[in-house]
A = this chain, B = another copy of it.
């Protein structure tokens, strides 16, 4: 059915479809053949078209959610994306209607901010200044998100549009709880699409147990097997990350109160989600307790291999028996300090493979003949090529899943955010080698590449992970779409909501029960003791009195 839908996709472009049937054709003649085909087709399409309101996030988050929107639209649903008018990646498309709202900054400002972020990665800093700067950077970004949210909720025209359009579901990225405030306001079910929320908010909001002893916290770069010292650190991070949550998210509580006219904490807001679509797969993430309303769609972004463009095909074919290495540090890094770039270029020059390096900065003068700089590369298609021997990546989760899907061993150069955690996961599975981007030398790069290319265990391990990952009963994209449709059809998924949400902290941990039982035991002990003492006194007392009497008599 889906294949047929894809086959018919060509006919659909240019035709605006209202699933409610009010506007079947606009902008086209009534006798337009594709439109009629679409009508006939719509009669046997499996899903009744629903109306999905999307509140996405910019950057790689948007690139990640996009295929789901495309898939939903192909299934006959109407998709409306709400985005700030200044953004990096969110552009109009035939797959959805895009509605923008004004924000008090320009796209140029946003780009400059992101570029600044890229520049600072390579700066040598003390631990303290790095930590302070990281927090300031996160704070900066969250302030931006918060400002967007405020603008959206105060945009009366947009709110009226959303209210009038009677959506069936809100499909959102929960890095900001803005979409959930809207969902509460409109009494709509919501679905989250995410990798994770920092500071453990996702665990709190889903009432998912999160043992500090083997579930590594965000940004600790621990594996699930920790030393005692690591467990102490993990415990401390896990116990106090709520402070970071408070600092980052508390402004939303005021905003939500203003908009909804009722008090709701941020965890309460998040706990209303019907389903959490988590970009998790346990070949990459560590196994841990989960909840029934979590759906795992890790690897959703691994595309099917497309033929390479002539330019890349030629490079790959000319690489000979040694094959190629794909190198990309993602779109955030547009330039690398020349000294570091030369170090990298020198390292890349030591291997016989052809290196395809996505880099937009100044060309290092020592670039070896085997290294080809490109402004852009078809990453997944190149990774899927049998001649690809290794993948040098900044360890973003998308890139890593592409590496896993295509079974390419990795050299990992994590830059910021969750990338160190990601890199550690790949390394702990024996499928890659981590390099410290600040400290690495040409020799380190060369050694790491030689290891992942020539030491068979790396290829074997990534091959095993790939086979496990791809052996699934249903494709993650179909699974995600199923759950969006499920929530639309049944107006939520209340049957998946654990009763834990109705207990307070004391009740959840049975502290009141334990206190009661201790009190009972204590009372029983005291009564028993008193009884014993009373009996003893009775017996001994008699004896005592007797002896006293006999004593006095003897005196």
**Residues in A lying within 8 Å of B, measured CB to CB:** 208-209, 211-214, 224-225, 228, 231-232, 235-236, 282-283, 286-293, 464-465, 467-468, 471, 473-474, 478-479, 482-483, 486, 489-490, 493, 495-500, 502-503, 507-510, 512-514, 516-517
Give the number of times this chain occurs in the complex, counting copies: 2
Q: Across the interface, do A211 and B512 meet the contact criterion of CB distance under 8 Å? A: no
Contacts of A489 in B (CB 8 A): 467, 471
Contacts of A496 in B (CB 8 A): 282, 287
Give Cα A291–Cα B215 distance, bound, in whole angstroms: 13
Query: Could you list 6 further interchain pairs (A-B, Cβ under 8 angstroms) beyond the known A213-B508, A225-B502, A235-B517?
Result: A283-B495, A464-B490, A465-B495, A467-B490, A471-B490, A473-B474
Are A287 and B291 also in contact (CB < 8 A) when A212-B510, A214-B499, A512-B228 are? yes
Contacts of A213 in B (CB 8 A): 500, 503, 507-510, 513
- Which of A211, A282, A497: most chain B CB closer than 10 A? A211
Partner of A286, one of B235, B287, B465, B499: B499
Contacts of A510 in B (CB 8 A): 211-213, 231, 235
Q: Across the interface, do B209 and A209 meet the contact criterion of CB distance under 8 Å? A: yes
Can you list 22 contacts pairing A with B, beta carbon distance less than 8 Å? A209-B211, A212-B513, A213-B510, A214-B500, A214-B502, A214-B503, A214-B508, A228-B512, A228-B516, A231-B510, A232-B513, A235-B517, A282-B495, A286-B498, A287-B291, A287-B497, A289-B289, A465-B495, A467-B490, A471-B489, A473-B474, A474-B474
Q: How far is the CB of A15 from chain B (nearest CB, A)?
A: 29
Contacts of A467 in B (CB 8 A): 489-490
Q: Across the interface, do A231 and B517 meet the contact criterion of CB distance under 8 Å? A: no
| Chain B: CB-nearest residue to A285 | B292
Partner of A292, one of B225, B236, B287, B483: B287
Q: How far is the CB of A274 from chain B (nearest CB, A)?
A: 12
Q: Across the interface, do A499 and B287 meet the contact criterion of CB distance under 8 Å? A: yes
Give Cα A486–Cα B224 distance, bound, in whole angstroms: 24
Q: Across the interface, do B473 and A287 meet the contact criterion of CB distance under 8 Å? A: no
Q: Across the interface, do A211 and B479 meet the contact criterion of CB distance under 8 Å? A: no
Q: Across the interface, do A478 and B486 meet the contact criterion of CB distance under 8 Å? A: no
| Chain B: CB-nearest residue to A486 | B471
Contacts of A212 in B (CB 8 A): 510, 513
5 shortest interchain CB distances as A-B pairs: A224-B499, A209-B209, A473-B482, A287-B498, A214-B499
Q: Across the interface, do B290 and A508 meet the contact criterion of CB distance under 8 Å? A: no
Give Cα A468–Cα B489 distance, bound, in whole angstroms: 9
| Chain B: CB-nearest residue to A295 | B473
Partner of A473, one of B236, B478, B497: B478
Q: Across the interface, do A225 and B473 meet the contact criterion of CB distance under 8 Å? A: no
Give Cα A490–Cα B466 distance, bound, in whole angstroms: 11
Contacts of A286 in B (CB 8 A): 498-499
Q: Across the interface, do B224 and A498 meet the contact criterion of CB distance under 8 Å? A: yes
| Chain B: CB-nearest residue to A501 | B214
Q: How far is the CB of A70 from chain B (nearest CB, A)?
A: 19
